[in-house]
Amino acid sequence: DVVMTQTPVSLSVSLGGQVSISCRSSQSLVHNNGNTYLSWYLQKPGQSPQLLIYKVSNRFSGISDRFSGSGSGTDFTLKISRVEPDDLGVYYCGQGTQYPYTFGAGTKLELK
Amino acid sequence: QVQLKESGPGLVQPSQTLSLTCTVSGFSLTSYSVHWVRQHSGKSLEWMGRMWSDGDTSYNSAFTSRLSISRDTSKSQVFLKMNSLQTEDTGTYYCARNGVFDYWGQGVMVTVSS
pLDDT class for A2, splitting at 50, 70, 90? Answer: very high
pLDDT per residue as tens digits for the range A48-59: 999 999 999 999
* pLDDT > 80? residue B64: no
Element (H, E) at B91: strand B91-97
Please give the residue of chain A at the shortest CA–CA distance from B98.
Answer: A96
Residue of B84, B81, B80, B111 whose CA lies nearest to B16: B84
Sign of the Cα pseudo-torsion (A61, B75, B6, A2, in order):
negative
Residue of A60, A96, A97, A101 whose CA lies nearest to A78: A60
pLDDT per residue as tens digits for the range A14-73: 999 999 999 999 999 999 999 999 999 999 999 999 999 999 999 999 999 999 999 999
**What does B30-88 look like in DSSP terms, one character per residue?**
TTS-EEEEEE-TTS-EEEEEEE-TTS-EEE-TTTTTTEEEEEEGGGTEEEEEE-S--GG
pLDDT class for A83, splitting at 50, 70, 90? Answer: very high
The reply to whether residue A99 touches residue B62, judged by beta carbons under 8 angstroms, is no
pLDDT class for A11, splitting at 50, 70, 90? Answer: very high
User: What pLDDT is attached to residue B41?
Assistant: 86
User: What pLDDT is attached to residue B103?
Assistant: 98
Please indicate if any CB of chain B lies within 8 Å of the CB of A60: yes
User: What pLDDT is attached to residue B113?
Assistant: 94
Q: Do the beta carbons of residue B96 and residue B106 sit within 8 Å?
A: no
Task: Identify all chain B residues contacting A54, using CB atoms and an 8 Å cutoff.
Answer: 100, 102
Name the 3-class secondary structure at A20.
Answer: strand
Mean pLDDT of B58-76: 94
User: What pLDDT is attached to residue B42?
Assistant: 81
Phi/psi at B88 (nearest 5 deg)? -65, -15
d(CA B102, CA A45): 19
Please give the residue of chain A at the shortest CA–CA distance from B44.
Answer: A105
pLDDT per residue as tens digits for the range B11-59: 999 999 999 999 999 999 999 999 999 999 889 899 999 999 999 999 9
Residues in chain A: 112
User: What pLDDT is attached to residue B99?
Assistant: 87
Please indicate if any CB of chain A lies within 8 Å of the CB of B88: no
